[in-house]
Amino acid sequence: MTYIGWNMGFRPIVMEGVNVIYVNRRGGPIRVIRLLTAFWNHTKHKDIIIFVRYFKFLSWLFRLMRPGNPMVLDIRTGSVKKNELVRKYFDTVLKIETLFFNNITIISNGLIKKLNIKKEVQILPLGAEVISPTEKIFRSCRMLYVGTLYNRNLENVIYGLAEYLSQSEAHKKVALTIVGDGLPGQLDQLIAEAKRCGISEVVEFTGVVPHDQLKPFFDSHNVGVSYIPLTSYFDSQPPTKTYEYLMSGMPVIATKTNANQLIINNDNGVLIGDSPYEVCLGIKTMLQKMNRFSSKKIRMSSQDYEWSKIVDNLYIYLCRLK
């Protein structure tokens, strides 16, 4: 297996059996030539299956460059730009590029409807691995948020936690760790807001942590936070971390996007709105329910989201293309 992708400046990923080709992302239009050259040089065998995770403006070129190869276009997301006109433009470009492909996989039925794709497609759902196998103890509420800070309005989580703590004396029973970063300055802004609200002693900010170093955080926390703003462009996006929290035996405080509503129920979490008041209410409800949760039951209820099962189904689908 060969993977071709951008070099984003992060630590290189090494996986057994995978030849990883990183392409320098610097240089404006020149980087596109680099990427297309790498694609051409590593896809010369006509029998190989080419799996293209959607590249904006470039996916159709991959199809034209290798018309004889079995090729799949995979769509993980629509546009999440805040500007509605920009979102519609990029989603329209995506739909046009799908016309070049006979084989398409997509993350969810919700995204099919959002993009109004009429062609036959294969659902390739999001999944997760078990990051933490430990059985959680539910005597306190040690919350964990892992993900980007960009476009997530996480200050509402800070304000909601501050509102809860202002109403409660159980400060030792509640803590929050935020793992991740966003645009330059966003992490510092959140740290400043936590300090301004007087809750910096119960909120820890770690910045970016590589995926293979997340286990200690999932081991030491017992509640996941899947906070996604309730907007039309996020509504159909299955959240990766919701699955990872559940697979690690953690109940989840999750905003009630359509995607989260299909996953979270009374036995594995709490659904909330995206306002500070709703965050406060979610924490309060979670603490009231803590003694009802079982890590073992939460993991069992989310077994269908295991990567191994999803990969097995994908393998069957790819074999049919030959």
Name the residue with higher pLDDT: 212 or 295.
Answer: 295
Name the packing angle between helices 186-196 and 155-167 (round to 10°). Answer: 10
Q: Which residues pair with 52 in a beta bridge?
A: 73
> 234 pLDDT band (50/70/90 cuts)?
confident
Task: Report the distance separating Cα 322 and Cα 319, nearest Å.
Answer: 6
Confidence of residue 13 (pLDDT cuts 50, 70, 90): confident
Q: Is the pLDDT of residue 169 over 80?
A: no
Which CATH fold topology does 141-304 show?
Rossmann fold (3.40.50)
- Residue 4 Rama label (left phi>0; alpha psi -120 to 50; beta): beta
pLDDT at 171 over 70: no
Q: Are 188 and 215 in contact (CB under 8 A)?
A: no
Our measurement of the distance from residue 264's CA atom to the centroid of its chain's CA atoms, rounded to an integer in Å, reads 16
- Residues 237-251 have a mean pLDDT of 91
| pLDDT grade for 259, boundaries at 50, 70 and 90 | confident
Distance CA 57, CA 149 (A): 26
In whole numbers, what is the pLDDT of the chain averaged over residues? 93
Given pLDDT bands bounded at 50, 70 and 90, which one contains residue 144?
Answer: very high
User: What mean pLDDT comes out for the span 52-64?
Assistant: 96
Assign 8 a pLDDT band (cuts: 50, 70, 90). confident
- Please report, for the chain, the start and end positions of each structural domain, with discontinuous segments joined by +: 43-127+309-319, 141-304
Q: How far apart are CA 260 and CA 255, in angstroms?
A: 7
The gap from C-alpha 215 to its chain's centroid, in whole angstroms, comes to 17
The Cα 119–Cα 104 span in angstroms is 8
What's the start-to-end Cα distance of the chain, in Å? 16
DSSP 16: T
Say if residue 322's pLDDT is above 90.
no
Q: Following DSSP, what letter does each residue of 278-307 receive, concatenated?
A: HHHHHHHHHHHHGGG--HHHHHHHTGGGBH
